[in-house]
Structure 1
């Protein structure tokens, strides 16, 4: 009843060639023209088969003013004939076995689908309804061949989808050997579909990992206008995005490439900088593209093959220069025992049994067999072929038909037949009451109900040729691919070398294995580079280009104080305060410590000048001690002069405390010693200035001021002035003392080791008090500068204070604007400059008289007006 339902549905709803039972008679009438070319062998169960023996239909426009002629096709596929013969071989092998289906004989009914949806649909309807013997007028039951409860086919995903949508409502199983589209795993849409070909979902994962393995982030992706290519490319774009791979272009081209379509495709390929191109199509569509690539000299591309053409030797014959080095994943291959001898049985005496074999013979040897019905193929020169001599042999030519070195699709066909055989065996050995259906019933073998057969098939697992064959819940086999590399053999033929594999049953990080040492590339001896932008080296970061894919970017050097230690880093990392980038900016290095040291030239100079100043002061003191009884020394307050020289010597030596690595105690000593020593110096000068002023005032009639500022008062004034500075320093040290600090605030490759003044107020109070004493000293000396005498010390004190002010007024802005060791150097320079100013201005004139003009070192000379 199911078969009659199919017949009635498609006879009247579809304009398909079909046989139908007449409503008035029991006579079989065939609706439409039916080509009789097929392989048929009778048996208890007839297995249907659809194979693309012909492909690439010749385009034509029908006017429908007359009956449309049969479609002609451009090419004949010897490879597909091998698939057909593999099916017949497997059926014969199973029939000869005693352990598998001992009580059932398998038959086959194999038809040419022509890789064309209308032809495939017509053939599938014939298979599931049985084929009539054309021309007989007997009843339908008498002339009709047994229908097929299951179909092995088709090769193309799009064609298989069309057949499934037609037969799916009747649950007729379709077992494909080459349809890989992942869309066919949708059981809601295609519940009756199974396959021995892995789903594209796994092939796409393998391809995406291959592209990522070689860091090809800029890849051209093209495919034929078909469901297979569309779903495959969609999956590839999604999967490759996980690895940051961008499509340089995605282009779909029609099955029949017009000049405009071909020109558009070539333009996209040439305009792109991608050197790796991935193609999803069959070999027939690719032939036209490769021809155009050769004409336009596009021979630099590294081709990545989808499994549809990954082992196609037919392309190599004409395009070996373009396809050398091609990589592609191919399904698992096997060696089928005795298949080779079975295929080679063809000769001139037995090719007349089937028209398919006759046509193959004519195509292979370019001759014409008597009574040839070679009408499928449309090719120039067919009518002009000479007759075959009868001495032709397959040993004399190469044909994909007899090539059993790469049995991959053929092996899938082999497994599909064994899947059906094992399913039927399980049904035949089912024990009533233990079956899978309601109340434990078993599947029916007479008649075979397709839906029951499908139910058994989904649970079937078996072992063939050493492989465990099992299927998942979607009817897909466990995916395993060989990574093939196209290399040139010694004789110039194609050498398909296995250079790796992908096994979906392994862990994700181990499922792809590549042996790079045996790979031959298209150009040079290394993998090509295919990127939109070259990788950003460590020390830089990626900056995306606006409006372009993520694979297109610019490399920006890391900023000051930042590094990137990885290739293609998105962001730069900031170094810690204690570290600084190296010159390449790919590593944070510990900062060097910066301070004014005794080893560097600047420190050595300051150390030498400080030492020289101290020795010079000591020398002046030595001179003063020797000539202490002379009028010049005695007349200028000898005691205060000695104290001043001692304190000036201390000021020179204090400059040395500013050189070297700072520490907490050294910082406290340097600032307090600096403040107190200069306070003592200025206090001594102030006392000397007051003494000069008082001495001249005392010479006035009735003046007795000197008794109020004698030697005791002079010493006391120096002590009091110094005690004020000492009190400021004590308060400073007890509240917020100076301390050593590691300054990392400034973007520099060094850490500044400096003395932190602690309390800014304390520091400026120390300087301010010294400045106050200096101002008082300057004012008093200024008032006494014109007092009469041959030698008036107030003039030199005035000049020394001017130098002192000039030094320290200049020091303040320079000190504030500098950092690190240069700030310390400025401080030391100010100390030395002011100390030298005091020493030279006050004591140089006296030393000059004492040492060089002794005649002036007399009381008489000093008393002159």
Structure 2
């Protein structure tokens, strides 16, 4: 029984081996996914992978999965991307023909269409790094698959590059992008296997912000397609714009699949905004819908600023040249790649599906009865068959246009970067290598991480340019500033009007030649401001609830200036300066004083001179008629002294004119006080003499012996000495000094005499008033004494005028300022002096000169 079981078990095992062998003989390599044979492939010792967005805008379709899903189709074909593909092939072939670079190693290429779509790009990147089996060979996968690529050149889009890197990065397979510029890709923790020949957006954004600041555009709009590239770029621009005081009128992201409603809403916002400068972060293909709607709504006033993604796109010019004339944008460096132009025109459309599709697109014909099934699928049914005589020399296409090789040059540099890294790896000396124990990287089974190490260390020169990379794998940024101008044949002329070089100093990195720029609608740079600049003499006042670029202009307050445009605050002038009329600079204040040359000063000194002359004239009359009764009967000696002192009072008024100085101030007030004290003392003595003279007629009264001429002069001197003592005390304690006063009139400095001691000043004035009061009292008492020519009456009138003048003077003086205060003072001196002269001496002169018959002793003694 046991033997039977063992025999059956052996038979079963042999039958199992037989069946398994037959099964295995029928197994072949199975490829998971769509049949995808549309590639450029050439074998070599090392095969470089390539991803390029030959098609874009996939046509979505839902599958029921009851049948095999159809391959993805696309709306648009990009001849520009085909040129990039061909540039990679050209660079590989050029390197293979060189003897100084990889002489013992041949390069191959495996290039695929990414479709500008994340799922397709990820799938095809995995095909590149794993190879692809031949589905018709029936052999094992290891023997028939296309050679895997240890490195991939791609992708154009930043968002797609990020998605591909998250797959390839796990295996440290390098991805070298020629057009992905998002600064986020410089994050080595998240994307350690990424390098690029395209500068990071970090530098482009700095260049754009400086460009906007250079033309003083403080109010700009920003739009972008809703991708990682635009989102990160706008985020960086917001940060840079804040540092340069640039405000954003709006920030708007529009969807990749732009519908009519979204386009209309966006363009309405552009139309309603006061910003005339707009920055667009997008690729050219996503701008068509926006520009088309701008034309429909007649939005033609915008000055467009292009990101590097579309700064040199001639395809937009062909349809929207009227809207985009004058556009400014930073473009990556261009280069002339020798022999590339002739190579591009040597294509044979039958050798590749990609080339066939391009040929049909370009010449609108069908090759071998094929049917173009993408964007022109329905129209293509009516296309004629290609006759074989078509030539790229007869048509213009972006594929064969080598006048602006910028992205193509980046592709060229990417291939050379890999080649130089492989060359450095091939020249490694065992035992001196960079890896563990001095080992070198293997060229027969290339490890991607080893190749990545060499790529990061590589510096090389190609086409005369030194290519260097920083620690993040980014090239040193340098851009050309391009201006879109219309040529004589209406074609687009991309004129280089400046450059930005990040390796230069911060204030020298942007250079612009404005004379070369052709603007959109005018001969000079347009304005794009929320509020116009505040001119010097005013300051900015921010409008509530609006950005800092929206403000009102407020004139500086009195005594303040602003000396540059858009001042935030006004500056206060120093004490000795004052704003000019436009309030943009402080100028020395005008010195104000009562001058001899000004009209008021001339009037006062004329009256002073006239008064002095009048007093002297009266004195002359009195001298001439000194023996007549009228002159002799009124105390001739005191009259002479009074006339001399009145002359001095008139002349004292001149000391108040002119620029005050310390010594002049110290003379002015004491001279004024003493001169008037002398005058009033003389009048007081005359009054007392008149009063005592009548009392002396009383029998037995001998009072006149106390009021003789000597006593009269002594009384005048005594009264004056009291005033002189007051002045001496004043001058020795706190004397008057010249001062510069700007309290009353801010725009001028009043040069005046400060009285020093207010007590001293009012004591001098008060003492004169005291004498005047005594004089008035005496004269009032003697006004009715029986006399035909009673001098006491005239003294009373003169004192009344004196009081009226000085009582009026005090409030007017205190309420005046500057030279008008001085004029009031001089006027009071002149008025009171004229009052004394006229009231006391005019009646006497009238008698002496005009009524000589009354000038006799008989008439004088007559009651």
5+ residue gaps, structure 1: 1-21
Instruction: Please give the secondary structure, in 1, of the residue aligned with 2:524.
Output: coil
The equivalences for 1:519-530 within 5 A come to 519-530=517-528
Which of residues 760, 763, 771 in structure 1 aligns to 2:761? 763
Contact conserved, 2:371 with 2:381, CA < 8 A, in 1?
no
1:781-821 CA distance string (max 9 Å, x none): 11222222222221111111111111111111111122221
3-state SS, counterpart of residue 30 of structure 1: coil
Matching of residues 28-47 of structure 1 within 5 Å = 28-47=29-48
> Separation in 1 of the partners of 2:498 and 2:69?
50
Q: Is the 8 A contact 1:196 1:416 kept in 2?
A: yes
Q: Secondary structure at the match of 1:166?
A: helix
Matched residue, 1:149 = 150
Q: Distance in 1 between matches of 2:163 and 2:698?
A: 135
Which residue of 844, 847, 852 maps to 1:846?
844
Query: Contact between 2:371 and 2:380, CA under 8 Å: does it hold in 1?
Result: no
Deviations 1:152-179 (A, max 9, x none): 0000001100111121111110000000
Cα distance, 1:841–1:460 mapped onto 2, change above 3 Å: same
2:186 alignment counterpart: 185
Q: Does 1:196 align with 2:194?
A: no
Give the equivalent residue in structure 2 for 1:303: 304
Distance in structure 2 (CA, Å) of the matches to 1:377 and 1:190 = 36
Using the TM superposition, give the Cα deviation of residue 65 of structure 1 relative to its aligned residue in structure 2, in angstroms: 7.2
What's the CA shift string for 1:51-85, capped at 9, x where partnerless?
Answer: 00011223555666766543322111000000000
Question: Which residue does the alignment assign to 1:396?
Answer: 394
TM-score scaled to structure 2, two decimals? 0.95
Q: Which residue of 1 aligns with 2:276?
A: 275
2:553 counterpart residue number: 555
- For residues 322-337 of structure 1, the aligned pairs below 5 Å read 322-337=323-338
The within-5 A match list for 1:611-630 is 611-630=609-628
Structure 1 residues 745-754 or 265-274, which shifts more? 745-754
Q: Is the 8 A contact 2:459 2:469 kept in 1?
A: yes
Contact 1:577 1:745 (8 Å CA) reproduced: no
- 3-state secondary structure, aligned to 1:28: coil
The corresponding residue for 2:208 is: 207
Q: What secondary structure, in the 3-state scheme, does the structure 2 residue paired with 1:251 have?
A: strand
Instruction: Map 1:115-134 to 2 at 5 A.
Output: 115-134=116-135
Cα drift, residue 187 of structure 1: 0.2
Q: Which residue of 2 aligns with 1:51?
A: 52
Q: CA RMSD in A?
A: 1.7
Distance of aligned partners of 1:60 and 1:829 in 2 relative to their CA distance in 1, 3 Å threshold: farther
* Partner deviation per Cα, 1:124-154 (whole Å, 9 max, x = no partner): 1111111122344332212321111111000
What corresponds to 1:714 in structure 2?
Answer: 712
Aligned to 2:473: 475
| Mapped contact 1:358–1:372 kept (Cα < 8 A) | no
2-structure distance, mates of 1:472, 1:560: 56
- Whether the 8 Å CA contact 1:130–1:144 is kept in 2: the answer is yes
Judging changes above 3 Å, is the alpha-carbon distance between structure 1 residues 762 and 68 closer, same or farther for their aligned structure 2 residues? farther
Q: Which moved more, 1:271-280 or 1:399-408?
A: 271-280
Q: Matches of 2:327 and 2:60 in 1, distance apart? A: 32
- 1:65 & 1:837 partners in 2: Cα distance? 130
1:316-360 superposed Cα distances (whole Å, 9 cap, x missing partner): 1011111111111111111111111110002xxx31111000000
Q: Post-superposition shift, 1:698? A: 2.1
Q: Deviations over 1:2-42 (max 9, x none)?
A: xxxxxxxxxxxxxxxxxxxx999853222222322111111
Q: What residue number does 1:439 align with?
A: 437
Q: What corresponds to 2:693 in structure 1? A: 695
Deviates more, 1:824-833 or 1:533-542: 533-542
Asked if the contact 1:58–1:378 (Cα under 8 Å) also holds between the matched residues in 2, the reply is: no
Name 2:11's counterpart in structure 1.
Answer: none
Equivalent residues in 2 for 1:118-267, closer than 5 Å: 118-267=119-268
The match for 1:8 is none
Determine the C-alpha separation between the residues in 1 that align with 2:250 and 2:757.
68
| TM-aligned CA deviation for residue 251 of structure 1 | 0.8
Contact 1:560 1:747 survives alignment (8 Å): no
Equivalenced residue count is 841
SS at match of 1:813: helix
1:204 and 1:315, CA in 2 relative to 1: closer, same or farther beyond 3 A?
same
The equivalent residue for 2:533 is 535
Residues 443 and 374 of structure 1, relative CA distance in 2, 3 Å threshold: farther
Partner of 1:7 in structure 2?
none
Q: 1:516 to 1:23 in 2, by over 3 A?
A: farther
Displacement after TM superposition at 1:491 (Å) = 1.3
Tell me by how many angstroms 1:405 deviates: 0.4
Query: How far apart, in 2, do the equivalents of 1:676 and 1:747 lie?
Result: 32
Structure 1 residues 27 and 66 mapped into 2: Cα distance closer, same or farther (>3 Å)?
closer
Contact 1:149 1:173 in 2 (8 A): yes
Distance in 2 between residues matched to 1:857 and 1:98, nearest whole Å: 143
Residues 1:571 and 1:25: Cα distance change in structure 2 (over 3 Å): farther
Distance 2:432 2:695 in 1: 141
Q: Are 2:225 and 2:281, in contact at CA under 8 Å, matched by a contact in 1? A: yes
Give 1:565 deviation, angstroms.
1.7
Find 1:568's aligned residue among 566, 569, 576.
566
Q: Work out the CA distance in 2 between the residues paired with 1:283 and 1:61.
A: 28
**What SS does structure 1 have at the residue aligned with 2:223?**
strand
Alignment check: 8 A CA contact 2:369 2:385 kept:
no
Give yes or no for contact 1:355–1:374 (8 Å, CA) kept in 2: no
Partner secondary structure for residue 85 of structure 2: helix
Task: Give the Cα–Cα distance (whole angstroms) in 1 for the partners of residues 154 and 571 of structure 2.
Answer: 58
Structure 1, residues 440-492: CA drift from partner, whole Å, max 9, x if none? 11112221111111111100111111111111100001111111111111211
Q: Which moved more, 1:610-619 or 1:53-62?
A: 53-62
Q: What's the secondary structure of 1:525's corresponding residue?
A: coil
Q: Give 1:380 shift.
A: 4.4
- Give deviations 1:279-330, integer Å, cap 9, x for gaps: 0000011111111111111111111111000110101101111111111111
Distance (whole Å) between structure 1 residues aligned to residue 72 and residue 748 of structure 2:
84
Task: Say if 1:218 and 1:274, in contact at 8 Å, map to a contact too.
Answer: yes
